[in-house]
């Protein structure tokens, strides 16, 4: 299950970085995006470990793959927005 705070944390990190509106802000957003992606990966690994050898293993593996994809998509979207933010200021 996706921790409920992650989307909020991503939004807050992006909003805080937008306030700075410079390359440092872009770097901060990208670092936050990477950390968020890594947290999704960690959650996926935990879920896989907990389900290993159980009847739910196949379903949990699919869920873990979905978590990884969501984390990657969120990271990519935040990085794209940070790049766009930085390019509009130059």
- Is residue 88 situated within a structural domain? no
- Is residue 59 situated within a structural domain? yes
- Is residue 89 situated within a structural domain? no
Q: pTM for this structure?
A: 0.72
Q: What is the pLDDT of residue 82?
A: 85
For residues 32-47, one letter each, b for 16 or more C-beta atoms within 10 angstroms of the residue's C-beta and e for the rest, the string is: bbeebbebbeebbeeb
- Is residue 90 situated within a structural domain? no
Q: What is the pLDDT along the chain (90 residues), one digit of tens a residue?
A: 556 656 656 665 656 555 555 578 888 888 999 999 999 999 999 999 999 999 999 999 999 999 999 999 999 999 998 888 767 665
How far is Cα 78 from Cα 71, in angstroms, rounded to an integer? 11
Domain that holds residue 15: 5-83
How far is Cα 41 from Cα 29, in angstroms, rounded to an integer? 18
Residue 21's region, left for phi above 0, alpha for psi from -120 to 50, else beta, is left
How far is Cα 37 from Cα 6, in angstroms, rounded to an integer? 10
- Is residue 58 situated within a structural domain? yes
Q: What is the pLDDT of residue 86?
A: 67
- Is residue 35 situated within a structural domain? yes
Q: How many domains is the chain partitioned into structurally?
A: 1
């Amino acid at each position: 299950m996706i921790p409920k705070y992650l989307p909020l944390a991503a939004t807050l990190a992006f909003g805080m970085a937008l306030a700075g509106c410079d390359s440092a802000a872009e770097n901060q957003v990208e670092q936050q995006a990477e950390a968020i992606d890594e947290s999704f990966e960690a959650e996926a690994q935990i879920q896989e470990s907990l389900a290993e050898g159980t009847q739910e293993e196949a379903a949990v593996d699919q869920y873990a793959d979905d978590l990884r994809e969501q984390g990657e998509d969120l990271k990519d979207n935040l990085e794209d927005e940070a790049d766009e933010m930085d390019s509009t200021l130059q």
